[in-house]
Copies of this chain bind each other. A is one copy, B any other.
């Protein structure tokens, strides 16, 4: 039975549903608008314990998941990819244990981390960025998440050059994905999956037209909307506000560009 240790992280879920990622230090307190808790009392206890703040609010001390660490702990050096989109990207790209994936830009490394989690322990993520500081941040976050060994961080522009060949997937989260249609094609194996993430519709149009010209097949663009429900007997309804847009996701498959002479 795993227990909470000095120096480890817990996820507090407060009575009002707020979440905090906190490092456990004996003798320290964690303060919020719903009161404070003594962190030391958690040491040696099982994850999932409830505890009371000084003002009587009940919190749960959970073991943080990888998503918690990304969403709450990662510095937002760039716009990050959201869970609703991450799940779709993982599924559609087919990335799993053993996959070899090219990704870029590394950015805040949210997607890099998720990809590393799925390719482990036998695959590899090749993550490109033109900004060295993003790569340095990514190395730090991946190391803390114990996933650095599954990622090769590469300083470079994947619209100019992708070193790898016969990869299973190329995942683009860059401002000009259409410029990478050629390099992605070269890097992918037959039937390999390209995924491109863009916030604006004009980027999508440029990208889809470029993919068509380069002979990609099965080009599809979707947008994923996630509605949270407020579920309580007699008072159930969708929540009032929702993230209505993060990005369009375009998927395509590399198809060999020859036509058979039937």
Contacts and interface: CB of A to CB of B under 8 A. Distances in A.
Given A13-B218, A225-B224, A245 B256 contact: no
Interface in A10-67: 13, 19, 37-38, 41-42, 45-52, 58, 60, 62-63, 65-67
Q: How many copies does the complex hold?
A: 4
Contact of A191 (B48, B220, B224, B233): B48
A48 B255 contact: yes
Contact of A229 (B92, B221, B240): B221
B88 A262 contact: no
A91 B66 CA distance: 10
Chain A interface, >50% SS class: mixed
Given A50-B260, A67-B92, A87-B87, 17 more contacts: A1-B190, A13-B217, A41-B260, A46-B190, A46-B256, A48-B254, A58-B259, A65-B191, A66-B94, A86-B91, A87-B90, A96-B118, A199-B237, A208-B231, A239-B244, A240-B246, A244-B244
